[in-house]
Amino acid sequence: MAYTIDQKPNQLAGANSPMVFVLKEDSPAIYNANKFRYIAQVYISTTDASTWVEKAKIKIHKNSANVGIVDVHKIVRSYLETQEQNVGNQETIVGSIHSIGISDTSNSYSQNTSQVVGVKLVGGYEKASSATAAPEETLDQANTIIYSIPASTPYTDTGTNVGGLDIDGTNNPLTNYIPSGATKKFLTNAPRVQFVRGSSTAGDNVDELTIAFINDGLITDGDVLVKMAIEYYNSAGGQIGSTKYFTNDTGSGGKATADDVKNSLLYFGCGTANLQNQVDVNDAQPSDFADWAYYVIYGADGSGNQETDKYYFYRYGSGAKVDDRHQSCTRYDNVRLAWRNRLGAWDYMNFRGKSTESVDITRSDAGSVPGTWDSDKFNYNNWDRGKKTLYTEATRKLTINSDWLNEDEGVWLEELFTSTNVQILADNNVVYPVVITDKRYTKKTSVNNKIKIQYTVKLEYANKVRTNS
């Protein structure tokens, strides 16, 4: 007879989906005892696998099958946050997360500060010697360790994967996001083809963009990304120059083999602004290539073998024929959005359609009777007011429109509309937090919308306008 953790999430679990553990005691003499309850102690590590802090002790009544089932995802989720800061490998803030390679030009990577935690579940039970006796705890009967990121897994049903849960440890919904081959993804559901602003002129390369990826070590389901590869191509699809590699090491802000939760998930700066400003790798700036039309990013092992899928970043107006809708310039002001995606990392898009800005103003007014009522003679001053504004409160709002998009981009944008963290990235590296005020996302298709698909997004700046109130 034995106590076991009979079921658990996979080694890497999303904290925004259920994280279910099944506790099982085999001895009827124990689980049929008076006042029997299973105990689940939840420990969290924000460092390594040897440092644990107890955060919760949960007591669970057995079900009809004599097991205890507990979901700990809400506990775990409270220790995970959106990565807002670029910290390199020194844990000192050098700018926003989007500014990798810009705020510190020598670091093309950033470690995470709150994107991964270790979760240790220790199982036990309590029971009483009689119906009137107080129960006594028996702890540390079994334990297991997993790691978690602030991800949501979709509702699916593939036999062992029901509702996005890893039912028996063989079908992890996050498998596709763990580097181990040429089909694996970075921590994004963005289309493999995206569009950026840039040219061979250094000042035109203004788009900030990062990709996040699982870094092997503590989480042992994947391979090591020793380097990040970049390749530039012309409009005919011919590679320009050689493949450039950004080594994932402490000198560049990363670390190849993780030994801590802070380096088990890394960010890499790969927008035109990030690549242009970094000095980590020579001859890898967009301005080094006169006729580049797009570049390709992928993760690689020490020999340069591909360990992730390839992501393509096409330059507006390059003449490349991947998507004619994106070839021309725009007469409208560009608005670049960044938002937290469903994997807990950041996605980006330029909104190049018509935009309108407004300011909603709320006033608090008070009335008075003009005149010099407290003087020996009554008189009026020209500046006396019968109505006064005590204070004003102003909220800046913005309505923006996308380019003409394809259906894949439209599906992806659902993550923007449902995101809890959206930002405007100005070209001067300033970040403005905003809130989407749209209450509905309508999925558009080329059939229903006659090929052309465009999305309108209504935004409200998260901070009030500073008035003279």
Backbone dihedral angles phi then psi of residue 411, each to the nearest 5 degrees: -65, -45
The rounded mean pLDDT for the chain is 89
pLDDT score at 323: 66
Contact predicate 277/269, CB 8 Å: no
Domain boundary, last residue among 322, 346, 369 = 322
Between residues 379 and 459, the one the model is more confident about: 459
Nearest to 229 by CA among 210, 242, 214: 242
Residues 169 and 258 in one domain: yes
Q: Any bridge partners for residue 429, and if so which?
A: none
Query: CA separation (Å) from 7 to 20, 44, 175, 440?
Result: 8, 19, 18, 38
Structure confidence by residue, pLDDT tens digits, 26-37: 999 999 999 999
Number of domains in the chain: 3
Euclidean distance between CA atoms 280 and 206, whole angstroms: 18
Q: What is the DSSP string of 233-277?
A: E-TTS-EEEEEEEEE-SGGGT--SS-SSGGGSEEEEE-SHHHHHH
Find the mean pLDDT for residues 438-446.
83
CB 66 within 8 A of CB 31: yes
Whether residues 465 and 345 fall in one domain? yes
Within a domain: 74: yes
pLDDT over 80 (residue 221): no
Q: Give the pLDDT score at 172.
A: 74
- Residue 306 sits in the same domain as residue 432: no
Residues 143 and 213 in one domain: no
Q: Tell me which of 322, 348, 365 is where a domain ends.
A: 322
Mean pLDDT of 272-287: 96
Residues 354, 236 share a domain: no
Q: What is the pLDDT of residue 25?
A: 97
Rounded (to 5) percent helix, strand, coil in the chain: 10, 40, 50
Reported as a single tens digit per residue, the pLDDT across 307-343 is 999 999 999 988 777 766 666 677 889 999 999 999 9
Three-class DSSP category at 372: coil
Judged against a pLDDT cut of 70, whether residue 447 lies above it is answered with: no
Burial class (CB in 10 A: 0-12, 13-18, 19+), 308: buried
Looking at residue 45, which CATH number applies to its domain? 2.60.40.10
Q: Which domain holds residue 182?
A: 88-115+157-322
Closest to 434 in 3D by CA, of 419, 455, 454, 415: 419
Rounded to an integer, the average pLDDT of 395-413 is: 92
Mean pLDDT, residues 400-404: 92
Whether pLDDT at 155 is above 70:
no
Q: Residue 246: count other Cβ atoms within 10 Å of its Cβ.
A: 25
For residues 306 and 270, what is the distance between their CA atoms, to the nearest angstrom?
17
**100 bridge partner residues:** 104
Average pLDDT of the segment spanning 419-436: 95
Is residue 204 exposed (0-12), middle (13-18) or buried (19+ Cβ within 10 Å)? Answer: middle
pLDDT tens column, 335-368: 999 999 999 999 999 999 999 999 989 888 898 8
Q: How confident is the model at residue 375 (pLDDT cuts 50, 70, 90)?
A: confident
pLDDT in tens, 58-75: 999 999 999 999 999 999
Same domain, 66 and 206: no
pLDDT at 1: 62
How far from chain centre, in Å, is Cα 6?
Answer: 32
pLDDT higher than threshold 80 for residue 220: no
Instruction: State mean pLDDT over 292-307.
Output: 94
> Does residue 327 lie in a domain region?
no
Share of the chain above pLDDT 70, in %: 92
Q: CA 271 to CA 200: how far, in whole Å? A: 14
Do 234 and 336 sit in the same domain of this protein?
no
CA-wise closest residue to 332 among 356, 349, 348:
356
What's the pLDDT score for residue 370?
Answer: 86
